[in-house]
Amino acid sequence: ERAGVELFLIDEENRKFKATVAHEPYFFLIPEDKTAAGFGVSSGDMKANDVHELQTHYQDLTSTIIRMYQPRGLNRVEILRKMDLDAPNHLGLQSQNLGGRP
């Protein structure tokens, strides 16, 4: 099953036409963060082992989601790092460290 957006347009000569653009629906998951990054520790203060543990945690989560939902039509899983714009200092340097939301 595929999803798309149908666009109804008018060209320069007032001719009407339709175009369909394929669209993949998406949603974001924010997992519970039980690592040092979840407690506001900046990436400079994190040890290499902590960073490795965090990466392993997200790889395990990604593998589980793919295993469970790919048979139901899941196309792909991406890990995106999003900035929490509600944070008081979201424009500061610390907000860009690993402690932000993925």
Q: In this predicted structure, what is the pLDDT of residue 39?
A: 42
* pLDDT, tens digit (0-9, with 9 covering 90-100), for 64-101: 999 998 888 888 888 877 777 787 777 765 444 444 44
Q: How far, in Å, CA of 11 to CA of 15, rounded? A: 6
- Residue 10, SS3? strand
Residue from 51, 77, 54, 49 nearest 64 by CA: 77
* pLDDT, tens digit (0-9, with 9 covering 90-100), for 22-77: 988 777 877 666 554 454 445 555 677 777 887 888 888 889 999 998 888 888 88
pLDDT band at 1 (very low <50, low <70, confident <90, very high): low
Q: How far, in Å, CA of 33 to CA of 82, rounded? A: 14
Exposure of 3 in the CB half-sphere (CA atoms within 13 A): 7
Q: In this predicted structure, what is the pLDDT of residue 50?
A: 76
